[in-house]
Amino acid sequence: MAARENFREDVPGRANVADTPELIAYYDELERLQAGALWTVANKIEPWQPASASVPVLWRYADLRAHVLRSLALVAPEQAGRRVVYLSNPGRRDVSAAVGWLYSGLQVMNPGEVASAHRHTASALRFIMEGEGAYTVVDGHKMTLGRNDFVLTPNGTWHEHGVEAQGTPCIWQDGLDIPLMNALEANFYQVHPELRQQVGHPVDDMANTWGHPGLRPSAGEWTRGYSPLLKYEWAATYAALQRYARATDGSAFDGVMLDYVNPATGGPVMQTIGASMQMLRPGERTRAHRHTGSAIYQAAKGSGYSIIGGKRFDWAERDIFCVPSWSWHEHANASEREDACLFAFNDLPVMRALGLYREEAYGDNGGYQQRA
Ligand SMILES: [Fe+2]
Ligand SMILES: [Fe+2]
């Protein structure tokens, strides 16, 4: 008879049943009927608080870049579909997640290459790391992309990525909610019947239509569940952070932080993925907090460190790191002169939509102060 784990806790209200020969025989009988006694697993499947299987990880760009570039010679986009080195969390290898239910990878393309057009249930984003001439086409809207630009490929939209012939090798981070879609058993994938889509609009038309702070097109109708802006350029984002910094002391936990939003609703950019850019002023170190929801960060500017789950991770530009759900985290700018900026994407729209968002500040007196 195989040893069966029994998750006992000596706490009133929790399961605490000692094994006896009779009970073990009973458990065996249940198992043969594809059933089980809840009290043997209740304490495991209902932890007192979220118990993330993910561990905090920092992926250094300096370590990964050469390997990413090497894949250019190893596989063609026609073979691989997408030429990507994905980030694998040691606690989440079974679902190919970088953290929680989020996927991340570094994609690379040579000038003149185009990956085949496709669409999927997973929502996706790109954050450009290096190179000139990258572009994405989403449902016939072509967008030119530069360093630190952020672009959406929302669920169900046809999309393809490429680099113009006169460009340079381009690397970007791909962020998706593939693991979440698989967990929900709702993931579909389709290759475009012609492998390419027609560009049906002027280049960058969505940014030119929807990308004006405080203004929106008078005739603008937009009812889909994602932002029509599709692309958020770095220059405008950084300028907005600098202006906001003149007006605020910022959050004690995040410094000067702006969320990327859907300009038609003010809500998150996609239904399942939110994103933000935060600036840590010279010498700034934030207070620790924790919340439900997972996040993947990429250093967009400057250098610093984050303490995640009690461990320090030093980051520089283009490094990527993750914060698992309900892990304490705080961020610091290592420079006394330059600001530092962190891009992040997360599953907070899911947490909020399902009523699961919860946040806690690390208390000054060693205790915890909970916020609703
Ligand atoms: Fe895709
Ligand atoms: Fe946070």
Please determine, for residue 116, whether its predicted confidence score (pLDDT) is greater than 80.
yes
Residue 336 Cα to ligand 2 midpoint, Å, equals 23
The b-or-e profile of 275-302 (16+ CB within 10 A means b, else e) is: bbbbbbeeebebebbbbbbbbbbbbbbb
Question: Of 74, 234, 222, which is closest to residue 151 (Cα–Cα)?
Answer: 234
User: Residue 274 corresponds to which amino acid?
Assistant: G
Residue 202 Cα to ligand 1 midpoint, Å, equals 22
Q: Which ligand is nearest to the CA of 362?
A: 2
Alpha helices in the chain (DSSP H): 21-32, 42-45, 61-74, 77-80, 178-183, 205-210, 234-247, 348-353
C-beta neighbour count of 77 within 10 angstroms: 20
Residue 22 Cα to ligand 1 midpoint, Å, equals 54
C-beta neighbour count of 43 within 10 angstroms: 17
User: Residue 61 corresponds to which amino acid?
Assistant: Y
Q: Which residue has the tokens 């992040």?
A: 344
Q: What percent of the chain has pLDDT over 70?
A: 97
Which pLDDT does position 363 carry in this prediction? 81
Residue 95 Cα to ligand 1 midpoint, Å, equals 17
Provide mean pLDDT across the span 26-49. 96
Which pLDDT does position 81 carry in this prediction? 85
SS3 label, residue 211: coil
Please determine, for residue 15, whether its predicted confidence score (pLDDT) is greater than 90.
yes
Report the chain's mean pLDDT, rounded to a whole number: 95
Please determine, for residue 365, whether its predicted confidence score (pLDDT) is greater than 90.
no
| pTM of the shown model | 0.95
Q: Which residue has the tokens 């929807």?
A: 210
Question: Please, which pLDDT band fits residue 372 given cuts at 50, 70 and 90?
Answer: very low
Residue 183 Cα to ligand 2 midpoint, Å, equals 24
Give the separation between CA 194 and CA 224, rounded to whole angstroms: 25
Please determine, for residue 107, whether its predicted confidence score (pLDDT) is greater than 70.
yes
The b-or-e profile of 201-222 (16+ CB within 10 A means b, else e) is: eeebbbbebbbeeeeeeeeeeb
Which pLDDT does position 167 carry in this prediction? 98
Please determine, for residue 76, whether its predicted confidence score (pLDDT) is greater than 70.
yes
Residue 151 Cα to ligand 1 midpoint, Å, equals 12
Question: Please, which pLDDT band fits residue 371 given cuts at 50, 70 and 90?
Answer: very low
Residue 45 Cα to ligand 2 midpoint, Å, equals 25
SS3 label, residue 357: coil
Q: What is the pLDDT of residues 312-360, one digit of tens each?
A: 999 999 999 999 999 999 999 999 999 999 999 999 999 999 999 999 9
Residue 120 Cα to ligand 1 midpoint, Å, equals 6
Question: Of 250, 235, 310, which is closest to residue 286 (Cα–Cα)?
Answer: 250
Residue 116 Cα to ligand 1 midpoint, Å, equals 9
Please determine, for residue 137, whether its predicted confidence score (pLDDT) is greater than 90.
yes
Residues 321 and 54: beta-carbon distance below 8 Å: no
Please determine, for residue 204, whether its predicted confidence score (pLDDT) is greater than 70.
yes
Residue 261 Cα to ligand 2 midpoint, Å, equals 18
Residues 72 and 108: beta-carbon distance below 8 Å: yes
Question: Please, which pLDDT band fits residue 2 given cuts at 50, 70 and 90?
Answer: low
Three-class secondary structure assignment of 217-264: CCCCCCCCCCCCCCEECHHHHHHHHHHHHHHCCCECCCEEEEEEECCC
Backbone angles phi, psi at 48, to 5 degrees: -65, -30
Tokens of 345: 């994407």
Which pLDDT does position 72 carry in this prediction? 96
Which whole-number Å values give the CA distances from 234 to 170, 176, 209, in the listed order? 16, 20, 17
Residue 359 Cα to ligand 2 midpoint, Å, equals 8
Residue 354 Cα to ligand 1 midpoint, Å, equals 25
Which pLDDT does position 368 carry in this prediction? 47
Q: What is the pLDDT of residues 269-318, one digit of tens each?
A: 999 999 999 999 999 999 999 999 999 999 999 999 999 999 999 999 99
Q: Which residue has the tokens 């709702």?
A: 186
SS3 label, residue 38: helix
* Contacts with 275 (C-beta within 8 Å, 6 or more apart), sequence order: 125, 150, 259, 260, 268, 269, 343, 344, 345, 346
Could you tell me which residues are beta bridge partners of residue 256? 279
DSSP-derived pairing of the beta strands 189-191 and 274-280 = unpaired
Residue 291 Cα to ligand 2 midpoint, Å, equals 7
Q: Which ligand is nearest to the CA of 136?
A: 1
Q: Which residue has the tokens 């907070």?
A: 348
Residue 92 Cα to ligand 2 midpoint, Å, equals 21
Q: What is the pLDDT of residues 158-182, one digit of tens each?
A: 999 999 999 999 999 999 999 999 9
Q: Which ligand is nearest to the CA of 176?
A: 1
Which pLDDT does position 77 carry in this prediction? 86
Q: Which ligand is nearest to the CA of 361?
A: 2
Residue 68 Cα to ligand 2 midpoint, Å, equals 29
Residue 268 Cα to ligand 2 midpoint, Å, equals 16
Please determine, for residue 4, whether its predicted confidence score (pLDDT) is greater than 70.
yes
Residue 289 Cα to ligand 2 midpoint, Å, equals 6
Please determine, for residue 370, whether its predicted confidence score (pLDDT) is greater than 80.
no
